[in-house]
Structure 1
Amino acid sequence: MLKHWPPLGTLRGFEAAARLGSFHKAAAELHLTQSAISQQIRSLEAYLEQPLFFRNGRSVSLTDAGHDLLSTTQALLQQLAVGIRRLGQYHKPNQLVLNTTPMFARHWLLPRLADFRRQHPDVDLWIFSTDEVPDMVSQTIDLAVRDDISPQAECSFKVLYADRLYPACHPSVLAVPSEQRTTLHGEREMDWSHWEVEAGIDVGQKDQGLNFSDPGLLLDAACSGLGIALVSQLLSRQALANGLLQPLVEETIRGPNWALLTHRDSENNPLARSFSEWLLSNLVAEG
């Protein structure tokens, strides 16, 4: 990697001159003098220690090295322009940034988003789903709803829902003899070892099978008929209602606690309050 980068201005001048085939046209486009463009090109060529243009009077054409650099420079400038434009989303009026897990976003929040939009059409909600727990102090996040968070500095903390877990599968799997059913394994609370210790019920689970690090993907696999899984009561409600899951037994065991973190700068934000109240009302209704 280069220890020093050429000034961005020289790359902009080079790209314009190469694209337009003229130092004069490049100067006009960038609102510079032709001598300034010429100086930028000479500076860039000196830095790279090779010519980028063939000069023939007022006309210029690219060397092989110039052609190579042009494609790289155009891609770089385009990516930079897109990145800078994207920063505008951080200054949108009425924007509310919510961090959550991909599992919660896909299996609980997404099916209910239309209801939230009907009630709060002015809230510009940005759903920032991550597997990693966010640092609310250093990141631009208003709220976090997760099952893997604990209190953080400069944030209020509230437990929203004490989840329960139960073994389930797609109804079609029930037609398969229990000894032939595939066992779907997860991590953390979704691991069958928790069920065996707390419930002590044999539902045909085996040590071998399919393994998932993403609990949301585990739930998807169960809903698609791949086998039996230990699933979240909260996140599987939609699948149950749609007939994609069937409990194997009525017994449930203790699952993770879903909690809400609110950054102190957002506690009095009416947008954050609107979302928090909507979230709580839905969770209470399902509790």
Structure 2
Amino acid sequence: MHRPIALGWLRSFEAVARHLNFSAAAEELHLTQPAISRQIKGLEEDVGAALFARGTRHVALTAAGQQLLRAVAPSLQRLDATVRQIRMAQGRNQIQLTTFASFGSLWLMPRLPDFERLHPELDIRITATDALVPEGDPELDVALRHCLPERAPPGALRLFGEVLAPVIGRGLAQAVAAGQAPPLRVPADLSAHTLIEMDDSHAHSVDLSWPSWLAEKGLEHLAPRRWLSMNFTHQQVQLALAGQGVALARLPMIHEVLARGELVEPFGPAGRHWARTAYWLVPLAGMGARPRPEVRWFCDWVVAQAERTRCAIRDEPEADTLAHCD
């Protein structure tokens, strides 16, 4: 029987095959993980073969999955390129940028309506990847990245530094204050709480982890009530908001949530820890050449937004910018 395959299923398949991770694919496509799983199941039923071998902690392509990926990946690339050409031909300029999933979710996307209000004539395309300088997409204009200074690509502009802070949701903070949950007056009190940890394989992520923070406080051997590990920073934040434990959050990405009182720093500013990593804006298209006007507008807007973040977190490495902060 000849019947068409849903394009959305193929996009989900290609994303899972590229990441070998259902959660990462869901983040990239702005879908839930159950939705991605349902689409893959539907595609497997339609194709009549298993496309992924699912293990307890890993996902791998089957032979059928590899065969389908060889057909799907270049087809989607050609389709996307054609759509971009049509849009350009219709007179709508486009900014194409890449960032990592949590930064996009927590920092960039909440601010994008401001840029869209200033430039409603522009289309924006965002892709999620951790590669410092992505390969294979020459049309990308800008990358927003997080890395150690010595790893920053040539031409990268430092936006702001990294500072970590233990945070809890408003509900848990109220329970602690009312004596309905164990106290959180000093770091040693963490032993009675769940610590929400980031499960990240990047080398610099060691400095962003609970063990590093605890060692700085002289608590190398502290054993919490339990550990709860997640892949992405924004998942940690969501768990903290839900009252599931104490997250070691990245302040540049959550300072507005703190200002609204939805998250609380139980140890206050004394619990903050500056890391060596920083956030960067990296120009990609035509590096060394003058960028298109719309790309300059976007970069200038990002820099202005970054200055507000620097002021909010009191970015000490950029002390000369603090004179502009209220």
- If the TM-score is normalised by the length of the shorter chain, which range does it land in? 0.5 to 0.7
Contact 1:99–1:143 (Cα < 8 Å) also in 2: yes
Confirm whether residue 243 of structure 1 aligns to residue 264 of structure 2.
no
Does residue 294 of structure 2 align to residue 271 of structure 1? yes
Q: Is the counterpart of residue 285 in structure 1 residue 303 in structure 2?
A: no
Give the root-mean-square deviation of aligned CA atoms. Answer: 3.2
Task: Give the unaligned 5+ runs of structure 1.
Answer: 1-14, 16-70
SS in 2 for 1:234: helix
Q: CA deviation at 1:208?
A: 3.3
Q: Deviation of residue 258 (structure 1)?
A: 0.2
Paired position in structure 2 for 1:89: 83
- 193-202 or 245-254, which moves further after superposition? 193-202
Q: Note if 1:229 corresponds to 2:259.
A: no
Q: How does 1:31-42 map to 2 (within 5 A)?
A: none
Farther off after superposition, 115-124 or 98-107:
115-124
Partner secondary structure for residue 156 of structure 1: coil
Match of 2:216 in 1: 198
Deviation (angstroms), 1:272: 1.3
Counterpart contact for 1:219–1:231, Cα < 8 Å: yes
Please say if residues 192 and 224 of structure 2, whose CA atoms lie closer than 8 Å, have aligned partners that are also in contact.
Answer: no
Contact kept, 8 Å, 1:224 with 1:244, in 2: the verdict is no
> Structure 1 pair 100/234, CA: closer, same or farther in 2 (3 Å)?
same
Alignment size in residue pairs: 212
- Name the counterpart of 2:123: 124
Paired AA for residue 241 in structure 1: A
**Identity of paired residues, percent?**
22
Distance 2:228 2:265 in 1: 19
For the pair 1:177 / 2:179, whether they are aligned, the reply is: no
- Aligned residues of 1:107 and 1:236 also touching (Cα < 8 A): yes
1:199 and 1:122 map into 2 onto residues whose CA distance is: 51
Q: Amino acid of the residue matched to residue 257 of structure 1? A: A
Name the TM-score, length of structure 1 as normaliser.
Answer: 0.64
User: d(CA) in 2 for partners of 1:200 and 1:120?
Assistant: 50
Q: Which amino acid aligns with 2:227?
A: G
Counterpart pick for 1:254 among 254, 274, 295: 274
Q: Distance in 2 between matches of 1:239 and 1:213?
A: 21
Q: Greater shift after overlay, 209-218 or 227-236?
A: 209-218
- Displacement of 1:124 after TM fit? 1.1
* Unmatched segments (≥5 aa) in structure 2: 3-45, 48-67, 184-190, 311-326
Determine the structure 2 residue equivalent to 1:166: 165
TM-score normalised by the chain length of structure 2? 0.57
Larger Rg computed on CA atoms: 1
